[in-house]
Every structure is written in C-alpha cells, then in structure tokens.
Amino acid sequence: MRSALFNAYYWVLSIFYGLSAALAALAPGREAVTFTLRLYSRRMLWALDRLAGVKVQVKGQEHLPAGPCIIAAKHHSWGDGFVMFAHVDNLSFVTGDHLEKFPLVGAILKKFGAIVVDSCGGPEAREALSKSAAQVAAEGRRILIYPEGHLAAPGERFRYRTGVYYMSKDFGLPVVPVATNLGCFWRQQEAKKTPGTATVEFLPALPQGLEKDAFMAEMERVIEGRTNELIAQARGEPVKPAVLVEWDGRKNVVVMPKVAPSSLFP
C-alpha cells in the first residue's frame, strides 16, 4: 500500500515538475531550471520518507571540494539522482542520449547544461564527453557521472568505463567516489519500496596523477568495497563481493569467468 501511494505521488509530481521545468527552460540562464529540479528532488525525497517509509541519510559531504570536481557514484536506483540534486550545489551530470527521446526532456537537459553523450559509446562519445565537460568545468560546476553506465542491483556491478579517468586527466579535476545501499530499499526501477534507512556516502577523493589502469582499479575498489559494506549493514549480513554482470538489452546477466582451453582437459 505504501509503495502504491508513493508511486502515484511520483508520477503526479514528475508530470507537474516536468512541465514546470519545461516552462522554466524558457527563462534566461539556468537558475529557473535548477531551482525547479532541486525543488522536485526534495519533494520526492520527502515523499520517499513519509509515504514509502524510506529515509535517506547522506554522509561524507565534507569530502566535496568547494570548487569543481567529478562525482563518480554507484547507481542503484532512480532515487540516486534525487539525492544528488537535493544535496549537491552547482551540479551538472552526464547522461545517455536516450533521455532526449522523452517529450520536453531534451530542451530541459540542454538548458540545465547536462552533458549528453551517445549511449553506445565509442571514440565519438568520448570526444563529445570531453568537449561538453570542458565547458562545464570552465564554469566551475560539479559533474555527476555513473562510471558503470547502468543501474546495478545491490550485489551486482558492471565493468567501469574510462570516461571518469579521461575527464579527470583532461581537466585536472579531483574525483569524489560515492557508495550507496539505496538499492536495498528502492531497487532499480521497481515499483516496490522496502521501508528502512538508506545511506548515500561521499568518500575521500581519489589520489590524483594515477595512470589509467591504477586509477580504474582504485575507483572500482573504493566504490564497490564501501557499497558492499553498506549493503551488508542494511541486510544484516556478512560483506559479500559484488557479482559482475552485463546488460543484454532486457536484463542484467551474470558474466561467467573465461576458462582457458588447456584447463578443460586433465
């Protein structure tokens, strides 16, 4: 019942603030759109707490530098974005071009200054990411990016993409990792919500100057390690490593480890 009530509120609020943001996009500057999206996010978190019984506690905000940075976050649920927009000032974000297919969303993203890249990736996507990120970084804004590029269920992980590394290297920006267990309470896009207290935690910035392989390994280790600890706390279970999955176009599928041909025979 509580989940159904929240879901009804979610869609009513989303339609109302979607139209409001579209109107705000007609105003000069980003301020009107930014104000609308932040108010929308705060209302959604209020409803998540009061209607669905899911309270979100945000920790580690002292690790956010005052100036521009890259926020590399674990992505468990649609609720992740609400937490970021409600609690982080001067924010931009990286998103796939699939969102532009929704009515009015393209205009809102453009006015807000979101970094829209080709969801299929490739050299062209990296070039577009670098060009757009350069403008955002020059404006002194914080850039939110989900390194895996997909929603991962609690206990799952995708391969981490290198876009965070190249943005950090190109613009000299610190990278602040973010761990979460929100998926234990609001899993991906599922309608059912589980009451409880979720945690979103900003972690100390990654060391700067690392080579690509070392950077990628450290980013994944920090984000996945703390996320697994938060999941264990939420479930009252021992800490377990996340399972590597990939998206097959319909659902997350576990990636089976490769076996060398010589090991198949005695």
Q: Check pLDDT > 90 for residue 71.
A: yes
Q: Check pLDDT > 50 for residue 238.
A: yes
Label residue 30 by pLDDT band (50, 70, 90).
confident
Dist. CA 7–CA 121, nearest whole Å: 32
- For strand 91-96 and strand 142-145, is the pairing parallel, antiparallel, or unpaired? parallel
Task: Give phi and psi for 210, each to the nearest 5.
Answer: -75, 150
- Domain residues for the domain of 132 are 54-249
CATH assignment at residue 214: 3.40.1130.10
Please report whether residue 176 resides in a domain.
yes
Query: Global pTM?
Result: 0.87
- Mean pLDDT, the chain, whole residue set: 87
pLDDT for the residue numbered 29: 85
Long-range contacts from 224-229, C-beta under 8 angstroms, 24+ separation: 224/74, 224/157, 225/179, 226/177, 226/179, 226/201, 227/74, 227/179, 227/180, 227/181, 228/155, 229/179
Please report whether residue 256 resides in a domain.
no
Please report whether residue 189 resides in a domain.
yes
Number of compact structural domains in the chain: 1
pLDDT digits (tens, 9 = 90+) for 110-119: 777 777 776 5
Q: Return the CA Rg of the chain.
A: 19
Please report whether residue 32 resides in a domain.
no
* DSSP codes joined into one string, 108-157: HHHHHT-EEE-TT-SHHHHHHHHHHHHHHHHTT-EEEE-TT-S---TTEE
